[in-house]
Amino acid sequence: MGSKKDGSVISFHEISYTVRTFHNGLKIDKDILNQISGIMKPGVNAILGPTGSGKTTLLDVLAGRKDPHCLTGTVLIDGRLQPENFKCISGYVVQDDVVMGTLTIRENLNFSACLRLPRTLSKKDREQRVNETVRDLGLTEVADQKVGTEFIRGVSGGERKRTSIGMELITSPSVLFLDEPTTGLDASTACTVIRLLHTLGRRGKTIIFSIHQPRYSIFKLFDSMILLSVGDMVYQGLASDALVYFDKIGYSCEAHNNPPDFFMDVINANQGAVSGSTGKPGGGGSEPARPKNQSVPHLFKDKTKTTCHCLINERKSFSNPKKSQIKMSYSQSLAVQTRFIRTRGDKNLPRSQMFTMVIFAVIVGAIYYNQTDGPSGLQNRVGAFFFIVMNMVFGNLSAVELFIKERKIFMHESAGGYYRVSAYFLAKVLCDIIPMRLIPISGFSAIVYFMIGFKREVLKFFIFLLTLVLTSLCACGLSFFVSASVETFAIANLLIALPYVFMMVFSGVLVNLGSVGAWLSWIKYISIFRYAVEVRGTLLNQTL
């Protein structure tokens, strides 16, 4: 990953972020960030603050991931406005590690390399970049192990976190954002992750991350630090100067107290961890009196304004922001993105689906085996056809989980500039429809059609096959719609099962449609079952 000093300088000026929320039944505007300004230089930049202080919001604003309609103020990258696709040239590691658990660490890194590195780079160069990243992250011994899911045993939490970081480092971004990178890790592993970030900072990267309350061994690795309190700036500057600053405004840290804990106590107005007025810890002098009627954020505003004016004067291009706008594009074409997303699917699912459909076809064929041409045979064929159509519809309930299961991964990768939304949709639909629907249905039809004893004509067989395929595709499309619309699998199941049941009732088999009232009879026009069942006349007409 080299030692080139390629980090960017990020400055933000008078940033405010407001959202609409409900309070006592009324819509109100809530300020998440309140006119804060500062600068982030190459190195390790930490954003600290208690829960609800606006750490993640500030991180997302700097990364260009927040709604611009709720945002006021300006963010500059090396003195220029953020590019439209700043996400394509920066890295962002979310709090929850969203990596594909069915793939190995190396396969995950290779996926990121194939989609995000320039298309002019050769396959050998991409593999070399992946190997360098694996080595730099200390993942050589576990590189070929699967990351793991709830069903597959995988790597440890620290190795999983480093994999998430590695997927962003593949492109050697000038800026790397991380949201709570130590969440869910033990103290030793958390320290290892921050040391890795510290090493990257020393190589010239701009590392910006939010963190809640680190221990001292982590805190001493920070180059600069921002302290937030309910959207206001409490401190911004060198981490090593923070204790001196607080001491000057009347807040002294006791000996042996962890500085981040002390900062949180000051922010939360918890005086139990702040020394009293009898004297400074370890010294005999009297402590300066704390200013009255002034909050800690208010004390810092004057220093912040002075800093911001200096920053603006230094950035010549800020006076004409339109000329500084740079457009970025995706590294790969739509076709290439679709191809790589398709290769990431579970290769065992199509085989399992095909095996299941073959077994089911044999069972159905055995139940209705070689029906005669009499009335009872006709009745059995009608029942078999309706049963098969019902299976084609309800068998597509599995398609509901298609977009729900990978929603977090998709949201992260799409926001990170891995691929277009259209590429993901096309890849997932193609991966599901062809191997999971069309091929198994073809095998099912070839077995069950001749075992039941339908008329042995090529045309009628293909009508039978086409009917099942179209029925499955219609049911599948409805499942995809529900899957893309909701986030919870239980709600999706409910929303898809109810339409299927009503469609089955209005198929024309379970109830005489002519006897249904006009206010309900319209449902037959949207019933997948009805259109499929009406084909039975073509198939059964000459079977007697």
Q: What is the CATH number of the domain that holds 15?
A: 3.40.50.300
The pLDDT value recorded for residue 381 is 79
Mean pLDDT of 389-417: 84
pLDDT band for position 207 (50/70/90)? very high
Is residue 80 domain-shared with residue 108, that is, in the same domain? no
Q: Which helix (H) or strand (E) holds 194?
A: helix 187-202
- Judge if 430 and 472 occupy the same domain: yes
Average pLDDT of the residues in 70-96: 84
Instruction: Round the average pLDDT of the chain to a whole number and report it.
Output: 81
Q: Are residues 262 and 372 in the same domain?
A: no
Assess contact for 45 and 395: CB atoms under 8 A: no
- Quickly state the pLDDT bin for 385 (edges 50, 70, 90): confident
pLDDT of residue 232: 87
Q: Is there a single domain that holds both residue 379 and residue 241? A: no
> Is a pLDDT exceeding 90 seen at residue 177?
yes
- The answer on 443 and 355 residing in a single domain is yes
Same domain flag for 403 and 530: yes
pLDDT at 89: 78
Which domain does 385 fall in, by range? Answer: 334-540
The answer to whether the Cα torsion of 518, 520, 521, 522 is positive or negative is positive
Residue 283 counted as domain residue: no
pTM for this one?
0.77
Q: Are residues 535 and 414 part of one domain? A: yes
- Please indicate, yes or no, whether residues 215 and 256 belong to a single structural domain of this protein: yes
Torsions phi, psi for 10 (to 5 deg): -110, 125
Assess if residue 55 is contained within a domain. yes
pLDDT for the residue 1: 45
- Overall number of domains in the chain: 3
Whether residue 380 is found in the same domain as residue 498? yes
Q: Which of 257, 286, 317 is the last residue of a domain?
A: 317
Q: Is residue 189 part of a domain?
A: no
User: What was the pLDDT predicted at 540?
Assistant: 61
Q: Is pLDDT above 70 for 544?
A: no
Span 315-320, mean pLDDT?
44
Residue 29 structure tokens: 């505007």
Q: Are residues 351 and 376 in the same domain?
A: yes
Q: Tell whether 301 is covered by a domain.
A: yes
CA dihedral over 364, 355, 434, 391, signed as positive or negative:
positive
Question: How large is the C-alpha radius of gyration of the chain?
Answer: 31
Residue 435 has pLDDT above 70, yes or no: yes
Pair (507, 402) in one structural domain: yes
pLDDT score recorded for residue 222? 93
pLDDT in tens, 437-467: 888 898 899 898 888 877 788 888 888 889 8
